[in-house]
Amino acid sequence: MNTSPLRINVRSEIGRLEAVMLHSPGAEVENMTPRNVQRALYSDILNLSIAQEEYSRLYGVLSKVCRIYEVRPLLKKVLDNAIDRAELIRRICVGENATRYYERLMDMDSSRLASVLIEGLPAEINTLTSYLANEYYALYPLYNFYFTRDSAVTIGDNVLICKMANKVRMRESVIMEAIYQCSGAFECGITDANGYHPENSPVTMEGGDILVVRDDILLIGNGSRTSSQGIDFMIDRFSKSHPEGTLHIIVQQLPHSPESFIHLDMVFTMLDRDKCMIFEPLILDDHQYQTVDITVTDGVVSSIKPVRNIIYALRRLGIDLKPVVCGGSDEWDQEREQWHSGANSFCLAPGQILTYARNIHTLEELDKNGFNIISADDVISGKAEIAGRCAITISGSELPRGGGGARCMTMPLSRMDAGW
């Protein structure tokens, strides 16, 4: 078995997937009550057993096509090293005002500690301060961690550790930084945005807003999770790592409500070299949200200008995409299916995607555009092969309640060349 570190290599959204990082939803999802559902950033409480059953289809399909790395065993590996364990626990305790639990956490064995850092640590109500705080958890469960896309972004052979918009998700980024830095599983450059800016900085970014189209093209959403300051930070760091040549960063402004618009990949994802999935009202129709084309030449921003839309901007850069409309032609269906992550598809290879089965009008549009609709169960059982243009469907009654789809739940680590 090859135990050498995997070299991070992600230069497109569509190149054939070679490796991915996942986190199966566990007890942290069940450690939620109606009182803290809003804090968890969910639209509803999940039924864990059904969510896990649905997730197993995603996992099963991915295991057929690529190497899977999982967060929990990688975190345990970090915690097995005493120095790395001490630094990680220090960062978490200081960042979450839980320093009095430091020794207790340090005394746990690595498996138990990995679980606690993900599933939460109940508070000890043994001081007046803790009593008056009226908080059940000293460290809150990471309800959103099965959306591995958001806390770190793989761009080329580098990883950007994101500075999340909501404090409840900060620990996800801290854990991801430790995994990339200390697990020994990966070879890559690392930029930790948290190390450059204090907690109250307006600089924020999340992976759902960042799409790697080509070596020289990034799409970035500017909305409630990724600020303009965060985009400026990314452009500055991206420019420093590409001191020669021309880079294009296409920024799409997003509404701050409803919550289904939290990330760009909820309204735009790549399907193939010549196709993309869109939520038409925001990507093609007239509205007040700007699309901005930023050009970086030899490491310096040389142009910032408005453009008609993402598809127009990409066409000018040699990528001519035909849009497939989430929800089909009916506005009512478009809104319903966008809400349930109909536009949030994930490429296994050019023209081969994972998506939810519930969005029937979106699947009809995919079928009209030459995609064979296949169930995940048929792929896993061997009844169907992943071949040609296809959309592999996973059940989605519970997973979408967390606010994301197949792209949200997958962090690509390595892809083959897209062959542009």
Q: What DSSP line would sit under 270-334, residue for residue? A: E-SSSEEEE-HHHHTS--S--EEEEEEETTEEEEEEEES-HHHHHHHTT---EEEETTTT-HHHH
pLDDT band at 242 (very low <50, low <70, confident <90, very high): confident
What value does the mean pLDDT take over residues 308-316?
97
CA 89 vs. chain centroid, Å, equals 24
Helical (H) or strand (E) element with 220: strand 217-222
Q: Which residue has the tokens 């930084």?
A: 177
Q: Which residues of 252-282 are buried (b: 16+ CB within 10 A; e: fewer)?
A: bbbeeeeebbbbbbbbbbbbbeebbbbbbbb
Q: Domain 6-415 adopts which CATH fold?
A: L-arginine/glycine Amidinotransferase; Chain A (3.75.10)
pLDDT beyond 70 at 240 = yes
The SS3 of residue 254 is coil
Instruction: For 142-170, write each residue's pLDDT tens digit.
Output: 989 999 999 999 999 999 999 999 888 99
What does the pLDDT look like over 59-110, one tens digit per residue?
Answer: 999 999 999 999 999 999 999 999 999 999 999 999 999 999 999 999 999 9
Q: What is the residue extent of each domain of the chain?
A: 6-415
Q: Which of 60, 7, 70 is nearest to 411 (CA)?
A: 70
What pLDDT is recorded for position 397?
A: 86
Is the pLDDT at 241 greater than 80, yes or no? no
- The confidence score (pLDDT) of residue 33 equals 58
Residue 34 has pLDDT above 60, yes or no: no
Element (H, E) at 346: strand 346-349
Residues in the chain: 420
Range with the lowest mean pLDDT among 81-85, 267-271, 336-340, 398-402?
A: 398-402
pLDDT digits (tens, 9 = 90+) for 337-395: 999 999 999 999 999 999 999 999 999 999 999 999 999 999 999 999 999 999 999 99
Q: Which pLDDT score is estimated for 396?
A: 86
